[in-house]
A and B are shown apart, each in its own frame.
Chain A
Amino acid sequence: MAAERPGHPPGTASPRTRLRALLIVITIVVALTAGWPLLNALVADELKVPAGTALRVGPSGPDSASVRVGPHWTMRPALSDPRQGLVLARGDVIVSISYLSLIRPSLVAGIWSGLRQILRISHPGITIGPPVAVTSGQGQAGRTASVTSVLSVGAVTVFVGPSRTYAIQMVVLGPRGASLVAAQATRQFITTLRFPAEPAAAGLRR
């Protein structure tokens, strides 16, 4: 019978073995927690998108929308998921296009105030100007507002999908020196936004 220590079953690890096992555990935790993010940071997060490419956002055909990119745009694959949202960049200007799933069509009325709250989480420190009506190239009604922070300027725009169960939110942000590119980007994505069905009675009520 193996020698037993009080509180320790036979075959229990010696202090040296325990420390070795502890080291293995810590190595696994550190390798996963720091290793993957480090590797991810080492690989460039940039995918060239040819001018004129239509990019779809949303979980399925009827519940989606598409935008067409202009020249010199790239996608950030690590931050993009076609079901939920895309992050595109042109120089220092970053565009986030997100699919928002509305729990009930009646919630469309609260989408702008919800958007203000959400931006406080995703883009803390930015100020949103008063919203103005805007029409997409497809004739869809939406709202847009300028956004500013200490270092950046841009716009936030939202369009509600034809089924009124989802919306597409676009946030364009660039450094203060790139306000022209940011404004062009906002116009480009508003103009090329397409919903799969005819707009009919959809869109934000003014």
Chain B
Amino acid sequence: MTIRGSIAMVHVCAVLLCVFGAGVLIWEFVRFIAVFPSAAVLAAVLELPVVLVGFVILRRLRPVHAPAWRWSAAALVWGATAAAGCALLANEGLTGLWAKGAGVKFASNWSASLSAPLNEEALKLCGVALVALAAPLMINGPLDGLIFGAITGLGFQAAENVTYGLNAIVLSGGTSPDSAVLGSALLRVATTGVGSHWTMTAVAGAGLGYLIRYLRRSRSAGQGGERDEAGLLPATACLIAGLGMHLLFDAPGPPIELKVGVNFTIVAVLYLLLSSAFVRRARTVLAARAAAGLVSPAEADSVLSRRRRRAQLRLVEEPAERAAVRARQREILAEVDAEAA
């Protein structure tokens, strides 16, 4: 099979799984839409600003350049459909097993924290992995993994918030559907939103990014390239940390504000470490290329800055020439991404 054929296969499978996940969600909640249409619309509408703002911010957080719009959207959709729909079934199965095996009281306290990290993090990460398989240039290392993980988590979080809003109608006896949805959204956006799924999957996604870099460099080392000195330790640490953050978030006990704070702090520190290290390495890579004459001084000066790249493009009046300059910028950035990841 050709590279193109294998990538097409990834596309088809990803789309099918997204359709399946969306189908599960619709099947589970279609009666809510029929019985409480306005509250169902409200539950979805309340998440729109969260998704839009979160999507813009998370893409913008990627230093040097934002990830491709198409693949960012794909990660978001995976989180909101395939991951959320499949997690619904997986969690139902595993929480049932906890209740049967360890008793209803234990399950009431612990089944969420013992089921969700395993099921939900794995299903969300599958989306990040599919992006890496479908678009090899998108995820080169931990920083890309973190950004795509966060976007996938955001999609999942939004879908889950909608389902929680709808369930809140039932839990409140159907006495005030709009208030129930509003209350649920306020809690899950204003209180827990900053430390929820996007943080956990960002950290686990960074782990997947480390793993992808390790595998890619191991293959490359066989062809004369450099081996990944960091090895598998950071990948394992990030994956375990993501699971741990999710377990803590769902565990009974500590106040939710504390859990949110811990998760947000972990992802913020990891982001700062990874982004500063990436920018440092990108500068080194670019300097080496400039020294070797592969990149002009003007290109080396402007390519790492969004503002300067735009300024460079504005200087070119001819559309065809501008397209060539843009293509050249992208080419250099792809090379820098691959080496500095």
Q: Report which A residues bind B (CB closer than 8 A).
A: 1-3, 5, 7-16, 18-19, 21-22, 25-26, 28-29, 32-41, 43-45, 47, 75, 77-84, 86, 100-104, 107-108, 110-111, 113-118, 120-122, 124, 167, 169
Contacts and interface: CB of A to CB of B under 8 A. Distances in A.
Nearest to B31: A121
Interface residues of B, number: 71
Contact of A37 (B10, B90, B215, B338): B90
Contact of A118 (B13, B99, B174, B219): B174
A80 B152 CA distance: 31
A9 B217 CA distance: 10
A124 B221 CA distance: 61
B272 to A, nearest CB: 25
A19 B12 CA distance: 12
B89 A11 contact: no
B93 interface: yes
Contacts of A38: 93
Contact of A102 (B91, B108, B136, B172): B172
Given A13-B133, A33-B89, 7 more contacts: A12-B136, A13-B216, A18-B3, A35-B90, A36-B97, A47-B104, A102-B172
A7 B173 contact: no
A100 B5 contact: no
Contacts, number: 209
B43 interface: no
Contact of A100 (B32, B171, B224): B171
A110 to B, nearest CB: 5
A101 B172 contact: yes
Contact of B6 (A7, A19, A107): A19
A21 B171 CA distance: 42
B158 to A, nearest CB: 20
B121 to A, nearest CB: 10
Nearest to A10: B220
Contacts of B137: 7-9
B3 A15 contact: yes
B179 interface: yes
Interface in B74-91: 82, 86-87, 89-91
A18 B225 contact: no
A85 B338 CA distance: 53
Contacts of B10: 18, 22
B93 A77 contact: no
B190 interface: no
Nearest to B85: A33
B261 interface: no
A116 B91 CA distance: 28
Nearest to B128: A25
Contact of A40 (B97, B126, B334): B97
Interface in B237-286: none
A103 B122 contact: no
A110 B7 CA distance: 55
**Candidate in A22, A33, A47 with the most chain B CB atoms within 10 angstroms:** A33
A167 B179 CA distance: 17
A163 B179 CA distance: 20
B236 interface: no
A118 B104 contact: no
A13 B136 contact: yes
A33 B334 CA distance: 36
Contact of B218 (A11, A81, A110): A11
A81 B6 contact: no
A1 B221 CA distance: 9
B172 A40 contact: no
B321 to A, nearest CB: 22
B63 interface: no
A40 B220 contact: no
A34 B34 CA distance: 28
B18 to A, nearest CB: 11
23 contacts: A2-B225, A8-B137, A9-B136, A9-B140, A10-B223, A10-B225, A19-B1, A22-B130, A28-B122, A29-B17, A36-B94, A36-B96, A37-B96, A39-B93, A43-B101, A75-B104, A100-B172, A100-B175, A102-B173, A103-B175, A103-B176, A115-B173, A117-B177
